[in-house]
Amino acid sequence: MKLLFATNNAHKVEEVQAILAGSDIELQTLAAFPELPEAPETSETFEGNALQKARFVFERTGLPCIADDSGIEVDALDKAPGVHSKRFSPEATHEANNVLLLQKLSGVANRTARFRCVLAYVDGQHEATVSGSCEGRIAASSQGGGGFGYDPLFLPDEVPGRSMAELSMAEKNTISHRGRAFARLPELLP
């Protein structure tokens, strides 16, 4: 089955292609549609944003579409940055977001957090979502050079002592929020 993945994030595409390797799902990306404007993300929930993006791209292409919205929820920050993870800092870069997160947690003992991902499917007749999460905590400083986003700061409970950025892609995809959500993709398909 061929699906359009509503993202321009090359890191996400690489991860998802690895997750779906060996399945009968073939991903097409927005690289094939350079004229499309960026899909809006104005909802206050991961579910709302994932559906909004999938609908936006489906309405402009007519192709069965999947989209995800994901982020990190930090318990001591009332689950922030949450849906604002990508644009947490004014600069909206991975580096600036990580610096700001560490600043906000300076002196805070409770560093529990989770990565969450909601995956949406839209084909004009059918809409559905599934989700995945990964529990852990925020490190005191960056660890590792792999991954992207908040990966160097996130210490997953399932891999004690290592950050997401210190895991191989295969290890990460086994426990990550995105890996868990995309493993459920067949549940979404009609």
Query: Does domain 2-188 sit in CATH 3.90.950.10?
Result: yes
Q: What is the pLDDT of residue 160?
A: 93
User: Is the overall model pTM greater than 0.75, yes or no?
Assistant: yes
The number of beta carbons lying within 10 Å of the beta carbon of residue 188 is 19
- pLDDT above 90 for 110: yes
Out of 24, 68, 69, 123, the active site residue is 69
Q: What is the pLDDT of residue 49?
A: 98
- Taking residues 63-90, report their average pLDDT: 97
What is the chain's mean pLDDT, rounded? 95
- pLDDT above 90 for 10: no
For 162-175, what is each residue's pLDDT tens digit? 999 999 999 999 99
- pLDDT above 90 for 190: no
- Taking residues 68-73, report their average pLDDT: 97
Distance CA 29, CA 34 (A): 10
Max Cα separation, the chain?
A: 50
Amino acid present at 49: N
- pLDDT above 90 for 186: yes
Q: Where along the chain do its domains lie?
A: 2-188
Distance CA 159, CA 34 (A): 39
Q: What are all long-range contacts of 134-138, with beta carbons under 8 Å and residues at least 24 apart?
A: 134/158, 134/175, 134/176, 134/177, 134/180, 136/112, 137/111, 137/112, 137/113, 138/74, 138/101, 138/102, 138/105, 138/111, 138/113
- pLDDT above 90 for 147: no
69 is catalytic: yes
Q: What is the pLDDT of residue 76?
A: 98
Distance CA 165, CA 33 (A): 31
Phi, psi (degrees; rounded to nearest 5) at 165? -75, -10
Q: What are all long-range contacts of 52-56, with beta carbons under 8 Å and residues at least 24 apart?
A: 53/6, 53/120, 54/6, 54/120, 54/121, 54/122, 54/127, 55/122, 55/127, 56/6
- Taking residues 64-70, report their average pLDDT: 97
What band does 9 get if pLDDT is binned at 50, 70 and 90?
Answer: confident
Q: What is the pLDDT of residue 153?
A: 98
